[in-house]
Amino acid sequence: EEAATAFFKQTINNNGFPDKVVMDKSGANYAGLANINLLLILAGFATMIDILQVKYLNNIIEQDHRFIKKITKPMMGFKAFHSAQATIDGIETAHMIRKGQLAEENIPAYKQFIALAG
């Protein structure tokens, strides 16, 4: 609980106050955010951080990244971070287009990819 509170304090100092935090059903993380909300109330802030817990959030995230692991596992590795980042960004973009997350009406998937890569 104390570690989670310290983590959220540091995160808020670096990134500002979030409106909402989505997390798995971790008790320590929930307690840490509850402590942060208590500190906000004591400091006189009118708004608190909304906490949304999803039981299998980690599984959802891992399933979404399974396709990246499947494609990059046979590769020999990357010598530079920027080449790894570019490759993974391309894989994720293609997957998002395939899933319809970047769907634009009357534009085929390959043209969307070219427009983003261009």
DSSP string, 61-80: HHHHHHHHHHHHTTS---SS
pLDDT of residue 57: 65
pLDDT of residue 38: 92
pLDDT in tens, 56-83: 766 666 677 777 888 887 887 888 888 8
Task: Extract the tokens encoding 68.
Answer: 């990246």
Residues of the chain with pLDDT under 70: 57-62, 103-104, 116-118
Q: 49: exposed, middle or buried (C-beta count within 10 Å: 0-12, 13-18, 19+)? A: middle
Q: What are the phi and psi torsion angles at 17 (to 5°)?
A: -80, 130
Q: How far apart are CA 70 and CA 74, in angstroms?
A: 8
Q: How far apart are CA 8 and CA 49, in angstroms?
A: 11
pTM over 0.85: no
pLDDT of residue 58: 63
